[in-house]
Chains A and B, each alone.
Chain A
Amino acid sequence: EVQLVESGGGLVQPGGSLRLSCAASGFDFSFYEMNWVRQAPGKGLDWVSDISSSASTIHYADSVQGRFTVSRNNAENSLFLQMNNLRVEDTAVYYCARRKFFYGSSGYQGDAFDVWGQGTVVTVSS
């Protein structure tokens, strides 16, 4: 079964740090670009970061640039998000998601986040 399982969330004070993990199973993890997406309580989806299959290309949302670091260990089928200098506004459910590129008989058909984890809750509060 294709699966993503996040862990590492919790309660942290403003200015603190947390490291989130995402364990992948059921697919060739090393082949896929991976993403982190968060959702603040009662709010919409907010893309956070992505990392290419080989970790050679990484992007961040402006809101986390310089504070968050994404990484991966393909040998262990794991994705990570190191979050430093956390702010109250970082409070959210954090999801990891796989980005898949779809191809048909006529070639590229589109891409999307086709597999999501169940999410891990991060609460930043004093």
Chain B
Amino acid sequence: IQLTQSPSFLSAAVGDRVTITCRASQAISSHLAWYQQKPGKAPKLLVYGASTLQSGVPSRFSGSGSGTDFTLTINSLQPEDFATYYCQQLNTYTPLTFGGGTKVEIK
């Protein structure tokens, strides 16, 4: 299963609403997770089950979608949100694919 994230790069300002999309090459129900990664750090889980926020993640983050089309939305972008975001499918082991990533930079 291939995951295609778009855009691969976006420039946004503090306070902006940002939407990142992830499209699967075949239906994966809601078996999708989103991660945030900052330079030199390990990824951090944000969302699992396509739409459930991991404990401790700010409510400005939200996930939606099922089947093949998914989105991660960040409402009112904060300075600490500038990072790279990855989706991951956990529907099958062929393999547990990650998307190519979306880098969010400061405008």
Contacts and interface: CB of A to CB of B under 8 A. Distances in A.
Interface string B77-94: 000000000101010010
22 contacts: A37-B43, A37-B98, A44-B98, A45-B35, A45-B101, A46-B98, A50-B96, A59-B93, A95-B42, A109-B49, A110-B48, A110-B50, A111-B31, A111-B49, A112-B47, A112-B48, A112-B54, A113-B35, A113-B43, A114-B45, A116-B42, A119-B42
Contacts of B76: none
Interface in A40-94: 44-47, 50, 59, 61-62
A45 B31 contact: no
Interface of A: 35, 37, 44-47, 50, 59, 61-62, 95, 99, 102, 109-114, 116-119
Nearest to A60: B95
Nearest to A110: B49
Q: How large is the interface on B (under 10, 10 to 19, 20 to 34, 35 or more residues)?
A: 20 to 34
User: Is the contact region of chain A dominated by helix, strand, or loop, or is it mixed?
Assistant: strand
A110 B99 contact: no
A95 B37 CA distance: 13
A46 to B, nearest CB: 7
Contacts of A62: 95
Nearest to B32: A110
B45 A113 contact: yes
B88 A110 contact: no
B48 A102 contact: yes
B33 interface: yes
Contacts of A116: 42-44
Nearest to A116: B42
A119 B88 CA distance: 19
A114 B54 contact: yes
Contacts of B26: none
A79 B49 CA distance: 26
B30 interface: yes
B95 A112 contact: no
Contact of A109 (B52, B96, B97, B98): B52
A106 to B, nearest CB: 11
